[in-house]
A and B are shown apart, each in its own frame.
Chain A
Amino acid sequence: MSDATAVFELPDELAIDTDVARRVIAGFIRGQLEQAGFERAVLGLSGGIDSALVAYLIAEAIGPTNLLCVLMPYRTSSPASRTDAEAVVADIGCASELVDISPIVDGYFEAAAGAAGREASPLRRGNFMARARMAVLYDRSASWRGLVVGTGNKTESLIGYTTVFGDNACAFNPIGDLYKSQVRQLALAVGVPEAIVRKAPSADLWPGQTDEIEGGFSYPLLDRLLFWRVDKRRSTEELEGLGFDAALVERVDHLVAGAEFKRQVPPIAKLGPRTAGVDYLYPRRRPGSSAR
């Protein structure tokens, strides 16, 4: 285990060279913006580690004045999340806005969706909140003239702990290939406040919710399992040999397979001679596609 274990548990095999990571990510952010003809970025800042890390990385790549952080609490969101988000904004020195999504969410469930809406499950409510935040970010993308930056990590993407067209909607994502443990390592390296790195990750959909209690796993364990399974292509038998519980392997495999659709562009029925994503294959940005 490395030095970072003073703050959190970083499995050895997941430790990355953070200097190289910062270098690559900064170039990636600048490249994405330049190719699209944008100079600015906008992201939803929750007070959690993922969006905090991305805010620091964006500020590092293009300067804080080109970043807008939007805080979008719901009425049940933890006040501590907002305090943490405000600390990030103050430390970075970027622009920020507060958009309370309660009227949007409550308005829909109470008025538009009728009785069925009032009884909506926490899952439905959580997904709607994620999509309300997406809608706000894309509206501010137009007025701020900045691209929406994704803040989802590899762990949650692989197990499907995301809302499709909600928190996973973005123009590009600088940390989507980093496991949660690596997000923590990089966050410490770029100066995300230690309190944010230390606290238990939470979707903050209801008081006291944490990812690890809800999912029944610890991030270091889940990250290690995914790393050996996905990145290192180990079989179930080999994973058991590495000490992973067979039932956990089966459960995580099921989650990963079940979330495949969330990671891909929706299929289009193949009818014509050339079909986007099938046999019409162009880079997302090419000469003539720039917004400028």
Chain B
Amino acid sequence: MTTVRIALAQIAPRLGDLEANLTRHHELLGQAREQGAGLVVFPELGLTGYLLQDLAAEVAMRLDDPRLVGLATATSGLSAVVSFVEESVDHRLFIAAALLEDGEIRHVHRKLFLPTYGLFDERRFFAAGDSLRAVPSRLGFGVGLAVCEDFWHLTVPQILALDGAQILINVSSSPGRDLAATNEVGLGTATSWRLLMRTYAQLTTSFVVFCNRVGVDESISFWGGSEVIAPTGAPIFSAPFYDEGLFCVDIAPADIRRERIGLPLLRDERPELQLRELGRIVQERAGLAADSTDPKADA
């Protein structure tokens, strides 16, 4: 496989309208397949819209929901990342992203970090995920899924890369804000996101795929600007801001090997060091060990 075609479905989901969004997903999967895509990525809560509040429970799906299974069935010979409200067996609601491949739900990532500050109120309505795993995929390389805010925590891209991900996929519903004229691309949110995604791609020597929605929920406008970034940190493709569209981008998986041979950052990573130091920090924070960084501790 010399190249993989990635289709970024930069859509504007209809808030709370699961049926309409499902139909749109099926249409776009079909279009992406016609255009030769091997991987189709939809944004965070693309099946439900973002600002759900009490609607969350009304649009939630169990993993055996026929609507979700039907969407998986539409992925024979294809990989797709879709996002929805997942209801667990014990009735917790998660913001989930699922990797669908060859007719099956291959992996489900539950959003780990739920922003509940500023304009965000996710923790009020959702439970946070508890695990982070990279998964092998039919594409021939490991895939790591993350949802929006997950990428504002350094641990997420790092753990995914250490666990074998060679392509980090972040699906987002990022609200655009800060129009200060001094921003590099006219939008503060986009400037910050681009900075951190290029950094992650370079430091994990992995492809970073970002699919962000467009459209409006209540006061909030989502800015799009979906991207694919090479393992060198160089952007390969940047979708326009605020425009809906299905954007196809070809990547060469050989770029991962080339970058990792030339810049063996992952080889040199020290997970055992992190584990040891994090173990110490957790003990100290819990008051189970003296704070070794407290200058008074020596007195």
Residues of A bordering B, CB below 8 Å: 2, 13, 15-17, 19-21, 23-24, 27-28, 30-32, 35, 280-287
Contacts and interface: CB of A to CB of B under 8 A. Distances in A.
B154 interface: no
Contacts of B176: 20, 24
B181 A2 contact: yes
A123 B5 CA distance: 65
B221 A20 contact: no
A285 B217 CA distance: 9
Contacts of B181: 2, 15-17
A13 to B, nearest CB: 8
B51 A24 contact: no
Interface residues of B, number: 26
Contact of A281 (B54, B182, B221, B241): B54
Contacts, number: 64
Given A2-B181, A31-B215, A282 B242 contact: no
A30 to B, nearest CB: 8
Contact of A20 (B15, B187, B216, B219): B187
Contact of B180 (A15, A19, A27): A15
Contacts of B219: 28
Given A15-B180, A35-B15, A284 B218 contact: yes
A286 B242 contact: no
A19 B51 CA distance: 26
Contacts of A287: 14, 16-17
A279 to B, nearest CB: 9
Contacts of A280: 54
A280 B54 CA distance: 7
Contacts of A32: 216
Contacts of B221: 24, 27-28, 31
Contacts of A28: 216, 219, 221
13 contacts: A2-B181, A15-B182, A17-B179, A20-B187, A20-B241, A21-B179, A23-B241, A31-B215, A282-B53, A283-B52, A283-B53, A283-B218, A287-B14
